[in-house]
Amino acid sequence: MRTQIAIIGGGPSGLLLSQLLNRAGIETVVLERRSRDYVLSRIRAGVLEWSCVELVREAGAGARMDGEGIEHEGIYLASQNRGFRVDFMKSCGKKVMVYGQTELTKDLYAAQDAIGATIIEEAEDVALHGVEGDKPYVTWRKDGVEHRLDCDFIAGCDGFHGVSRQTIPLSVRHEIERVYPFGWLGILSRTPPAAEELIYANHRRGFALASLRNPMLSRYYIQVPLTDSVEQWSDDAFWDEFRRRLPPDVAETLKIGPSIEKSIAPLRSFVCEPMRWGRLFLCGDAAHIVPPTGAKGLNLAASDVHYLFQALKQHFEEKDSAALHHYSEQALKRVWLATRFSWWMTSLMHRFPDTGEFGQRMQETELDYLEHSASAQASLAENYCGLPF
Ligand code: RFL
Ligand code: PHB
C-alpha cells in the first residue's frame, strides 16, 4: 500500500490534517489504534478559538459547528466567591466558540467518510520506519495480519501516549515538563448550565470551572488532589464542593442532576523539541500538553495542523520545501506562547501545596488588578481568544 502522507492517530489533529490534505488533492491514510466508538466516547475540550473555527470551515466540516456551536464574547473570573466579567469583544475584538471536541471529531469523521478518505481503525502495534531517509514507511497489525504503508511523509498525530514521538532518538529529543500537584475532577450532566458564559473560580478550597456543551448539557470541574479517585466522589459530594467554590448567586440557582460522565485528569505542561525529525512531523498532543485552564490544547493542535498543511501544500504544489524545513521552529513559537498562557492561568487560579497566605493574597491581588485594568484584561482576552497563526 502506498500514500503521500501517513497520519498516525485519528483524533482531532489527525482527522483535520487528513481532511485538509485530501481536499487539496494530497493523499492520506489515517491509522488509529482504537475503534471509532471509543474515540467518540472521550469527553475533552469545549472551547474553540476563532482561527480554529475557520480552519474547520476550510476543511469543509463546519456546518454543524456553525449551527450548534455557541459564540462566547467573554468569561467570568471569580475570586473568593465574587465574580467579574472579561469582555473579549471590548478587550480584543475577538470571540470564541463553545463546541465539544467530541462533536467536532464526529463531524471530521463524517467529512472524511463523505470524501472517501482512508481511515484504518483498530490498527495494532503501529511502527514507524526509515524516518531519517527518503523512503519512510509504517507497519501495523490488524486482525492478526501484518500490513505495510509506504509514504512520502509521516504526520505523528497520536497524542501524548503515542509511538511517533518515541521514534525521535533520545540524543535529539528534548522534553521539557512541569507536572502540577493536583488534577481536575470533571463531570458532564444533563442540566442547564450554571451561567451563559464560563466561570473560572479561584477559591481557598481550590479551583472550580463551570463550562457547558449546549443549553441542556453542562461540563463542570473542580481541582482535586492527585491521590483522589473518581470512586471517592459521589455526585452529591461533587455538587456540594462545586457549589462552595462558586459565587453565591450562581451556587443558589445551580441545577444539579446525575452525572453522565465523571473522570479525573492530571495537569501537566510538556513540550517536545524538535517537532520534526527527518520525514516525521509531530502535531498536537503528540508534541505538547498544556494544562486545560486556558482551553488551549485542541487549539494548539489546530495551529500545528495549519502550519503543516500549508507546508505540505507548498512542497507538493510549488516544489518548495522551505516551510517544511521551518515547521518545527514555526509551530514551537506558538506552542511556547500558549504554554506560557496556560501555565499563567493555572498558577493564578489554583491552590498549590505551597500557596500559603502570601500566595493566596498575590492571586487575589492579581485578580483584583485584572478586574480593574483594561490592559490586563486585553492581555488575557487576546491570549484566551488565541494569538494569530
Ligand atoms: P488526541 O485527541 O489524544 O488523539 C490522538 C489519537 O491517536 C491515537 N493513538 C494511536 N493511533 C495509532 N497508533 C498508536 N500507537 C496510537 N497512540 C494513540 C489515539 O487513540 C487518539 O485517537 O490528540 P490530538 O488529536 O493531538 O488532539 C489534542 C486534544 O485532544 C487535546 O489537546 C485537548 O482535548 C485538550 N483539552 C482542551 N483543549 C482545548 O483546546 N480546549 C479545551 O477546552 C480543552 N479542555 C482538554 C480539555 C483536555 C482534557 N483532558 C482530559 C486531557 C479538558 C480536558 C479534561
Ligand atoms: C470544557 O468545557 O471542557 C473546558 C472549557 C474551558 C477550559 C477547559 C475545559 O479551560
The residue-averaged pLDDT of 268-275 equals 98
Q: Whose CA is nearest to atom 46 of ligand 1?
A: 45
Minimal CA–CA distance to 64: which of 100, 33, 89, 92?
100
For a pocket test of ligand 1, which of 7, 32, 55, 101 has the largest count of ligand atoms closer than 8 A to its C-beta?
101
The residue-averaged pLDDT of 124-139 equals 97
Given this model, what pLDDT does residue 81 score?
A: 81
248 phi, psi to nearest 5 deg = -55, -40
Residue 45 has pLDDT above 90, yes or no: no
What confidence category does residue 41 fall into, taking pLDDT thresholds of 50, 70 and 90? confident
Given this model, what pLDDT does residue 196 score?
A: 95
Q: Is the peptide bond before 274 cis (omega within 30 degrees of 0)?
A: yes
The residue-averaged pLDDT of 266-284 equals 98
The Cβ of residue 126 has, within 10 Å, a number of other Cβ atoms equal to 22
Percent of the chain with pLDDT over 70: 100
Q: Which of 262, 296, 306, 350 is catalytic?
A: 296
Residues of the chain with CATH 3.30.9.10: 181-267+351-385
Single-letter amino acid, residue 329: E
Given this model, what pLDDT does residue 42 score?
A: 85
| Pocket of ligand 2 contains residue 291 by CB under 6 Å | no
Residues of the chain with CATH 3.50.50.60: 5-71+96-177+268-345
User: Could you give the maximum distance between any two Cα atoms of the chain, in Å?
Assistant: 63
Average pLDDT over the chain, rounded to an integer: 97
Given this model, what pLDDT does residue 389 score?
A: 92
Minimal CA–CA distance to 20: which of 105, 96, 108?
108
Question: How far is it, in rounded angstroms, from Cα 100 to Cα 214?
Answer: 9
| Pocket of ligand 1 contains residue 32 by CB under 6 Å | yes
CATH architecture of the domain 5-71+96-177+268-345 equals 3-Layer(bba) Sandwich (3.50)
Given this model, what pLDDT does residue 282 score?
A: 98
| 296 annotated active-site | yes
Question: How far is it, in rounded angstroms, from Cα 80 to Cα 247?
Answer: 8
Q: Whose CA is nearest to atom 3 of ligand 1?
A: 159
Minimal CA–CA distance to 168: which of 287, 32, 333, 322?
287
| 180 annotated active-site | no
CATH of 181-267+351-385, one of 3.40.50.620, 3.30.9.10, 1.10.287.130, 3.50.50.60: 3.30.9.10
Question: How far is it, in rounded angstroms, from Cα 363 to Cα 170?
Answer: 38
| 109 annotated active-site | no
The CB-based long-range contact list for 347-350 (8 Å cut-off, 24+ gap) reads: 348/202, 349/77, 349/200, 349/201, 349/202, 349/207, 349/293, 350/180, 350/182, 350/202, 350/206, 350/207, 350/223, 350/293
Question: Is 84 strand, coil or helix?
Answer: strand
Strand order in the sheet with 5-8: 118-120, 28-31, 5-8, 153-156, 280-282, 276-277
The Å distance, Cα 11 to ligand 1 centre, comes to: 6
| Pocket of ligand 1 contains residue 197 by CB under 6 Å | no
Given this model, what pLDDT does residue 331 score?
A: 98
pTM of the model: 0.97
| 255 annotated active-site | no
Question: How far is it, in rounded angstroms, from Cα 264 to Cα 281?
Answer: 30
The Å distance, Cα 187 to ligand 2 centre, comes to: 11
| Pocket of ligand 2 contains residue 219 by CB under 6 Å | yes
Strand order in the sheet with 70-72: 47-49, 96-98, 70-72
Question: How far is it, in rounded angstroms, from Cα 15 to Cα 151?
Answer: 17
Give the number of whichever ligand sits closest to the CA of residue 45: 1
Given this model, what pLDDT does residue 333 score?
A: 98
Minimal CA–CA distance to 219: which of 185, 243, 251?
185
Express each pLDDT in 323-350 by its tens digit.
999 999 999 999 999 999 999 999 999 9
| 369 annotated active-site | no
Express each pLDDT in 62-101 by its tens digit.
999 999 999 999 999 999 888 999 999 999 999 999 999 9
